[in-house]
Structure 1
Amino acid sequence: MAKSSKLVAAKRGRVLLVRRRRDRLWMFPGGRRRGRETEKDCLRREIREELPKLRLGRLKLWREVKAKNPRSGRKMSDAIFIANKAFGRLAIGDKKEIDKATWRKPRGIRLTPTSRYIRDKLFPKRG
């Protein structure tokens, strides 16, 4: 089982990203599993905590990533889910952890290493 879960939600060429307060890096929303919860339960709980007004449609597991990030050297152990729908206000729930949420294009922004990996696999550069 993966240690954490991440959400990829896209609409009209933009993806949902949240900004971590501590280092101001952007990332796909999600977080670490607790106890015996499944990866999908973890993701639903994390979204309720971070973005309580956001509603998600069906979640589909895209990939489990267990690798060493080539740039940071950090071990990744993430279950990456794709939502077929995401709607509602982007109100921040956990203001100690997250200070901003937005829909935007996934390039030209400082991402965490794991989120950069996800972006490069799902939204490769064109040209």
Structure 2
Amino acid sequence: MAKSSKLIAVKRGKVLLVRRKSDRLWMFPGGRKRPRETDKDCLRREIKEELPKLKLGRVRLWKEVKSKNRRSGRKMSDAIFVARKTSGPLTIGDKKEIDKAIWRKPRGIRLTPTSRYVRDKLFPKK
């Protein structure tokens, strides 16, 4: 079981990203699991906390990432989910943690190490 869950949502060639207030790095939305919480339950709770007006269609597990980041040495343990449909405004719920949410191309932006890893696997350079 992964330690956290992340959401990959794509709309018209753009991905959904949120910016962490602490270090101003962008990431795919999601967060850490609570005890006895499934990966999917974690994802739905985190999305509801971070982006409460966002409606998710069916989500499916793309991959469970267990790896060590070569740059930082940090261990990654994430369940990565893909949503085919999303709707609703990008209203921020947890303003202490997240300060902005956008739809944009996944390149040319400062991402967290885990989000960079996922981006490089799902959206390789052409």
**TM-score of the two chains, using structure 2 as the length reference:** 0.99
**Per-residue deviation, 1:91:** 0.2
Task: State the SS of the aligned residue for 1:43.
Answer: helix
Unmatched runs of 5 consecutive residues or more in structure 2: none
Task: State the SS of the aligned residue for 1:49.
Answer: helix
Equivalent residue for 1:95?
A: 95
**Per-residue deviation, 1:70:** 1.5
CA RMSD of aligned residues (A): 0.4
Question: d(CA) in 1 for partners of 2:70 and 2:54?
Answer: 33
**TM-score of the two chains, using structure 1 as the length reference:** 0.98
Task: State the SS of the aligned residue for 1:80.
Answer: strand
Listed one character per residue, the Cα deviations across residues 40-78 of structure 1 (whole Å, up to 9, x for unaligned) are 000000000000000000010000001101122110000
2:48 aligned with 1:48: yes
Alignment of 1:12-91 (within 5 A): 12-91=12-91
**Per-residue deviation, 1:18:** 0.0
Listed one character per residue, the Cα deviations across residues 62-115 of structure 1 (whole Å, up to 9, x for unaligned) are 000011011221100000000010110000000000000000000000000000
Give every structure 1 segment of 4 or more consecutive aligned residues whose post-TM-superposition deviation is greater than 3 Å.
none
Question: d(CA) in 2 for partners of 1:118 and 1:72?
Answer: 16
In the alignment of these two chains, the number of paired residues is 126
Question: d(CA) in 2 for partners of 1:51 and 1:33?
Answer: 17
